[in-house]
Structure 1
């Protein structure tokens, strides 16, 4: 009797094992459909450019379509929240950035926890920020800008990608370090910010190099200093803020890929392998060089460590600069 039922029992046990190991089974089938890379800013900015360059190569590597979705607003937190609540199957990814580690401290209440609800995959690139002004402002260097700002407190303006973003914090830090009061004007991304900067609606920005590089080279915007401790290879003749007199000033912007926290570990590992390979490829590195970005391609653990360190560091800076957002 037992022998007659054994095949059915064996099949039932095999099915139970298969169902019980749903994570690995799903991971083996990944990717099963189109992959969406969510950019939490408007089109035209550094995040968008990096996402599209990566998505194109990732599609070739995985053999599935990879699309970029722009979900701007609230200092990049709308896009982050969307991905944090998306299906954890490896088909919805976020281009996270240093902005998200700042938002944790700046926003009084967020609908997600950046470190708990999102799984780091890898840091794709680091991009220096640059202080640029509309040429009509008249300031030709940092000291002239500071002198101009001190003559008219609260009259000059700097734009950013939104409240609580890296550009916002750098601008606030510049105010503290130089003893000036330059008014912050938030935007939903580098695209609309750059348009207004070119048109003179805003006086300056501390944006990443990428969206303003061509305008600097064309003489439509004037670069006064980069905000990192080292000069940018894309702008070798532009001094650092440290060189310009604001000693110890060192702020850049990193961009990386994250997935919903419950994404199977082997899917995250596969994503890391594929993206790091792309980041280290000659074609991708050439593309990053063209936009003033420095390729990274680290481990998920290294990215997680950077997020933790930045979250703690920017919490102190945000407190000193008294930055808050709703």
Structure 2
């Protein structure tokens, strides 16, 4: 017969274990929490190297690696307007060792694709908004056009003969170009590229006549005199080029939402991993040095909490869907 004292000890152990399990999400143990990261962490960038997303991801990877004393590497998985990389990150094991540097296309895609391989509000865990970005309507520096009014007149005089580039089908650059095309009753042809770097090469080489380009990718080429900008998206002028008017100022509405660069994990991340990654990422990108670097890129360092960012995604979602409808963007 079992000793009553033994039964009591076993009952205590079992009840204690149950209590611990109830407060540790998904059964995460103290040991596994302390061990994270237990191997190299990969930050997936769903676009080609060299663009703004890639730059921000590599900044973050360096800072996280310093703080964790463990390798953090960036892996570019470009294609399908970001779908390939986004889907890869969504399917990753929810242990925090595969993360995603996502941009605004994540919440634009549901209005563009019927068979999207992920659902942004179900399959990802928002971890940290790192920076926000506006886009500029850019032209080759050699172009004789210097205003939106003159640009519109020039395009209208050449229906079907002017092309606008983008960094991929269904990305923000495509949406902005399509909305501008539709709202100004133009007939420009869309030419997608596999990322911001090849887009900029084409724009500088005058293979396309214009493009909406994020400031992080565009800024060095404007400063070097290879490109010029004639208008900016967003609700106010950019500190990077304060002389450039917003499209809203110029009587072209619908371009007010800003883009963002944010860190995500797969759904169902353990709470302890969620807290560690979110806290470390925000701390890393809110140092004076990191904020200065972001500002040099033309980005605005984000001050949103993780919860506030998650809420803003839901607020911005219908705004981007409206832009898709009004721009008549159809990629399937």
Match of 1:95, SS? Answer: strand
Q: 2:160 aligned to 129, 154, 158, which one?
A: 154
Structure 2 spans left out of the alignment, 5+ residues: none
Deviation at 1:154, TM superposition (A): 2.0
Normalised by the size of structure 2, how large is the TM-score? 0.91
Q: 2:244 aligned to 238, 243, 247, which one?
A: 238
Match of 1:137, SS? Answer: coil
Match of 2:153, SS? Answer: helix
8 Å contact kept, 2:51–2:216: yes
Normalised by the size of structure 1, how large is the TM-score? 0.93
Match of 2:96, SS? Answer: coil
Deviation at 1:266, TM superposition (A): 2.1
Match of 1:310, SS? Answer: helix
Q: Within the alignment, does 1:2 sit opposite 2:2 as a pair?
A: yes
8 Å contact kept, 1:129–1:251: no
Deviation at 1:172, TM superposition (A): 1.2
Q: 2:111 aligned to 105, 112, 118, which one?
A: 105
Cα separation, 2, equivalents of 1:55 and 1:266 = 20
Deviation at 1:240, TM superposition (A): 1.6
Q: Residue 199 of structure 2 aligns with which residue? A: 193
Aligned residues: 326
Deviation at 1:90, TM superposition (A): 0.7
Q: Residue 261 of structure 2 aligns with which residue? A: 255
Deviation at 1:162, TM superposition (A): 1.2
Match of 1:122, SS? Answer: strand
Please tell me the root mean square deviation across aligned C-alpha atoms, in Å: 2.2
Q: 2:318 aligned to 306, 312, 317, which one?
A: 312
Cα separation, 1, equivalents of 2:296 and 2:141 = 24
- TM-superposition CA deviations, 1:217-261 (whole Å, max 9, x none): 121111111112211111122222223342464243111011000
Deviation at 1:136, TM superposition (A): 3.5
Structure 1 155/251 Cα, relative in aligned 2: closer, same or farther at 3 Å? farther
Cα separation, 1, equivalents of 2:33 and 2:159 = 57
Structure 1 spans left out of the alignment, 5+ residues: none
8 Å contact kept, 2:183–2:327: no
